[in-house]
Amino acid sequence: MKDFDEIASELAFFEQHATEAEEDARAYRSHVATVEPASGVVTMLDFGCGSGRFTARFLEQAAWPPERLRLTLVEPAESTRREALDRLARYSSSPIAESSALPIVHDGHFDIVLANHVLYYVPDLADTLRGLIAALAPQGCLLLAIAARTNLLCELWSDAFTLLGREVPYNTSEDVATALRALNATYEKQQVPYELSFADSRENRLKILRFLLADHLAQIPREPLLARFDQFSRAGRIDIHTASDHYTLKP
């Protein structure tokens, strides 16, 4: 597991310099348009909402009137969950439900279940996916994004933990696909490209490494990992073109 409170500034740096969130929200919107009710209430579960910054971007694009949205947030870190509640309050005129874990009492309830770049860190991937699928209403849609091992950031994980003599302790898209097949789940998958671009400096490279590795970085030789950015350095900037995998599931 990774404590995002300890790397808040590094997370903010990544969010400011990557187009990932913008591209993810745009890709989700094309799917939501096919499943959202034409009128009446829209029920949505955001699993791993974090501070709610991405959720706010998603809801801005969805543009539902606040009286239509019934929102449930799942986030294990209480302080982060409180931040999300404050940030998202204006998007729903109903009280926002919130929990530290997946609310099984809401099985078959949600039109939209969102799991945006959070499944890396769940220890029980198959059970989590089973619960997210079970939470869908009959016409609902599960939207999730996660990077594959070919994503540079996942390659940096692999390099780092190899230096530690350990397996990568996080899930990737390949693990999600394996778990979904084991669950006999039917899904669509697409690659969503994005860019990560920032001024090239040792400190900025370290910010990305701290974002990826948190307290693990202190145990790992840094120079081999810092050198991995060299191939992306041009005219004083790091420009990385990579992608995430998006999965779309319906009951």
- Distant-in-sequence, close-in-space partners of 105: CB < 8 Å, separation ≥ 6: none
Tokens of 100: 């530290």
pTM of the predicted protein model: 0.93
- Distant-in-sequence, close-in-space partners of 60: CB < 8 Å, separation ≥ 6: none
The percent of residues above 70 in pLDDT, for the chain, comes to: 97
127 has pLDDT over 90: yes
pLDDT band at residue 33 using 50, 70 and 90 as cut-offs? confident
Measure the CA–CA gap between 248 and 243, rounded to whole angstroms: 16
Domain range holding 213?
A: 4-249
Please, what is the average pLDDT of the chain? 93
**pLDDT tens digit string along 97-113?**
999 998 766 678 899 99
**Percent helix, percent strand, percent coil in the chain, to nearest 5:** 45, 25, 30
pLDDT band at residue 7 using 50, 70 and 90 as cut-offs? confident
Average pLDDT of the residues in 56-81 = 94
Average pLDDT of the residues in 143-164 = 97
Among 120, 122, 150, 140, residue whose Cα is nearest residue 213: 120
Residue 73 and residue 99 in contact, taking contact as beta carbons nearer than 8 Å? yes
Amino acid at residue number 242: T
Query: Are β-strands 237-249 and 233-234 bridged in parallel, bridged antiparallel, or unpaired?
Result: antiparallel
Tracing tokens 């350990």 back to the chain, one arrives at 166
34 has pLDDT over 80: no
90 has pLDDT over 70: yes
Q: What is residue 3's predicted lDDT score, i.e. its pLDDT? A: 57
Q: In total, how many domains does the chain have?
A: 1
pLDDT band at residue 162 using 50, 70 and 90 as cut-offs? very high
**pLDDT tens digit string along 187-218?**
999 999 999 999 999 999 999 999 999 999 99
Total Cβ atoms within 10 A of residue 153:
18
Total Cβ atoms within 10 A of residue 236:
8
Which CATH number characterizes residue 62's domain?
Answer: 3.40.50.150
Average pLDDT of the residues in 127-141 = 94
